[in-house]
Chain A
């Protein structure tokens, strides 16, 4: 069995009965190797469709999860269970639970980085005050707004108005904190929350793959929320100066907010400034100053001065990317997409209204960005296999579009590997508003392929 990867979370979806006899059969050696190779921040086992489990069955997965957490410093645990199953796990492991438990996948998603920028209001309760605080801090660091019930009675009262909350976080607990530095997205800026004393460990806890992904999909402003940082040593200093140099390649800006240098040598600040890192006292100094935000890149891609140009390597592989797109669409819809025109130009969207878009970056032997722009109706049709027919919300379509470009990225990776080209793909990003997309893409030259599908046009755009 392979884990299904959504965003930064990998999930094993088990079904039926789970005990010590059958549990090892769910995981072959290849499955374990494939899981270890995943680029994720969280690995979970879903118990939603498990009707019976015992401790021996869970132990097989706990062993795998623990080994992966120890080697990759990611969050591991179980998700998708009811209160009865939650209690059973607690009884099995008593006070020795060192993995995390998330009542649902939706709740687990709140504890990882994503490309979404909408903060959620959450009702939170755990009878253990230290768990309550730990969860609240994490949720806050990921940009959410947790409302903590201090007692069970208060929780029960607040729970009566569920419409006020995106989710109610209960029967959830955090295990050993193996997770990466909390990350959240605000507009076109990415905010990392760092705390305590920064040392060589930052190299393990900072998710460099996510950061590279973000650069590749067009983010240009990275802010370190450093209010809770006491100080840093030379190893952390080296880490940040290297990060600043790599960001410069993309013309991206790195800022620190709220970092007091009371206990840190002043020369460190000079070194960081020389590397291009900027310092601000409060978050509002950046986020509420539109002019500054534009200048730093957080207002979009319009201020990016050095656009990376298309190169021969990318053009040579164009057919593979188009093939991956067309064959994915065929696979998902049983209908044929046809190519109308191919031009090297800036991205041009004839009718920006009622369009959805998604993008995925890739890097390795070649690097670039694929953008797909669909009329809403075609986007829904393209994703019907993933979401089913019937009424679906725009958010569900956008989520499925992200999965759709992920499949395209995966297929392109396979096609290119046949030519011995190694490729990694980034997290997909989706857009419900073409203005946001154009902020990132308008100054970029790329290959625009106009395609038609069931009488409507959609755009494939490949750029760097």
Chain B
């Protein structure tokens, strides 16, 4: 169905980050938001994306924010880096979603929702590391990769799933040795994300054994956050609730704290 060669071909064809975004990201990493904003200003689609994203209800601004410098200033270094990665990911979204009943508008809402909830979680965990902050941006890449690899295999997967509750992530892992989180991490590598961010993306599947310390805690929170968001009506209808396997035991010990954070 999906061979290791198909996966290798996909990895080979991951597009590099456009130079303007790459430059803006470099300035953000140095903490220079003014230069980053000037740089971002030059890219019209990026400008439009930032404006649309930041003015989504989940960000809670009363008046429309349109100046890029102002947007970066409000967001701060960590969130700006995260938003730039979100933009890069938006460049990979398909024109038409074939596997999931999803629109790009809903996908951007999903990105915004994950980013905002992740920010609340990191405040709760008292973590200020901008690399950790950015990790959430790459998680929706799993949805894009899944759509790209499985869109033409929908019927075969349906037949498999009529007899066994298998998710796309498990099917891919068993057939190719890679899972969707590995492929999201490959995208992160292509875009020069830090090793820490990439390791965190890989561990968010909830199936990586031997996780310890902060990496385990963060992986648990991302995993549960994913299922919290994927349980919303829009994403259940889109088919996202079933595309990866929920490792309920992996997140069991953080559930109570998680409920308190998301209900704030």
B155's nearest neighbour on chain A, judged by CB, is A414
Closest Cβ–Cβ distance, residue A11 to chain B (whole Å):
7
In the assembled complex, the Cα of A50 lies from the Cα of B230 at a distance in Å of: 12
Question: Is residue B150 contacting chain A, with contact meaning CB distance below 8 A?
Answer: no
From B3, B175, B246, A385 is in contact (CB under 8 Å) with: B175
Closest Cβ–Cβ distance, residue B10 to chain A (whole Å):
15
Closest Cβ–Cβ distance, residue A21 to chain B (whole Å):
6
Residues of B within 8 A of A410 (CB): 159, 162-163
CB contact under 8 A between A331 and B227, given known A22-B236, A51-B248, A51-B251: no
Contact status A389-B174, CB under 8 Å: yes
Query: Of A12-20, A147-155, A225-233, which stretch is located at the interface?
Result: A12-20
Question: Is residue A1 contacting chain B, with contact meaning CB distance below 8 A?
Answer: yes
Query: Of B77-85, B121-129, B164-172, which stretch is located at the interface?
Result: B164-172
Question: Is residue A341 contacting chain B, with contact meaning CB distance below 8 A?
Answer: no
Question: Is residue B228 contacting chain A, with contact meaning CB distance below 8 A?
Answer: yes
Contact status A5-B162, CB under 8 Å: yes
Question: Is residue B152 contacting chain A, with contact meaning CB distance below 8 A?
Answer: no
**What mask results when residues 212 to 242 of chain B are scored 1 for a CB within 8 Å of chain A, else 0?**
0000000000001001101111101100011
Contact status B241-A16, CB under 8 Å: yes
Q: How many residues of B contact A (CB 8 A)?
A: 35
Closest Cβ–Cβ distance, residue B258 to chain A (whole Å):
9
B224's nearest neighbour on chain A, judged by CB, is A51
Residues of B within 8 A of A385 (CB): 160, 166, 171, 174-175
CB within 8 Å of B: which A323-380 residues: 330-332, 334
CB within 8 Å of B: which A41-63 residues: 46, 48-52
Residues of A within 8 A of B161 (CB): 2, 4
Q: Contact residue range for chain A?
A: 35 or more
A48's nearest neighbour on chain B, judged by CB, is B248
Question: Is residue B1 contacting chain A, with contact meaning CB distance below 8 A?
Answer: yes
In the assembled complex, the Cα of A4 lies from the Cα of B161 at a distance in Å of: 7
Contact status B174-A388, CB under 8 Å: yes
From A18, A384, A407, B160 is in contact (CB under 8 Å) with: A407
Residues of B within 8 A of A15 (CB): 227, 230-231, 241-242, 245-246
Interface class of chain B by DSSP: helix
A19's nearest neighbour on chain B, judged by CB, is B231
CB contact under 8 A between A11 and B165, given known A26-B236, A51-B255: yes
A57's nearest neighbour on chain B, judged by CB, is B231
Question: Is residue A138 contacting chain B, with contact meaning CB distance below 8 A?
Answer: no
From A1, A24, A403, B164 is in contact (CB under 8 Å) with: A403
Question: Is residue A25 contacting chain B, with contact meaning CB distance below 8 A?
Answer: yes
Residues of A within 8 A of B165 (CB): 4, 11, 13, 46
Question: Is residue A386 contacting chain B, with contact meaning CB distance below 8 A?
Answer: yes
In the assembled complex, the Cα of A216 lies from the Cα of B42 at a distance in Å of: 71
Question: Is residue B192 contacting chain A, with contact meaning CB distance below 8 A?
Answer: no
Question: Is residue A104 contacting chain B, with contact meaning CB distance below 8 A?
Answer: no
From B164, B241, B259, A4 is in contact (CB under 8 Å) with: B164
Question: Is residue B156 contacting chain A, with contact meaning CB distance below 8 A?
Answer: yes
CB within 8 Å of B: which A25-75 residues: 25-26, 28, 46, 48-52
A404's nearest neighbour on chain B, judged by CB, is B163
Question: Is residue A158 contacting chain B, with contact meaning CB distance below 8 A?
Answer: no
Contact status B163-A22, CB under 8 Å: no
Contact status A22-B228, CB under 8 Å: no
Closest Cβ–Cβ distance, residue A400 to chain B (whole Å):
8
Closest Cβ–Cβ distance, residue B75 to chain A (whole Å):
29
The 9 closest A-B pairs by CB, nearest first: A16-B231, A16-B227, A17-B231, A25-B236, A15-B246, A13-B165, A403-B163, A25-B233, A25-B237
Residues of chain A at the chain B interface (Cβ within 8 Å): 1-2, 4-6, 11, 13-18, 21-22, 24-26, 28, 46, 48-52, 330-332, 334, 384-386, 388-389, 403, 406-407, 410-411
Sample of 28 A–B contacts (CB below 8 Å): A1-B242, A2-B158, A2-B161, A4-B165, A6-B163, A13-B165, A15-B230, A15-B245, A16-B230, A17-B228, A21-B233, A22-B231, A22-B232, A22-B233, A25-B236, A48-B248, A49-B248, A51-B224, A51-B248, A331-B160, A334-B2, A385-B166, A385-B171, A386-B166, A388-B170, A403-B163, A406-B162, A407-B162
New A-B pairs, 19, CB < 8 Å, besides A15-B230, A15-B242: A1-B242, A2-B158, A2-B161, A4-B163, A4-B164, A11-B165, A16-B227, A16-B228, A24-B233, A49-B246, A51-B227, A52-B259, A331-B1, A334-B1, A384-B174, A403-B164, A406-B162, A407-B159, A411-B159
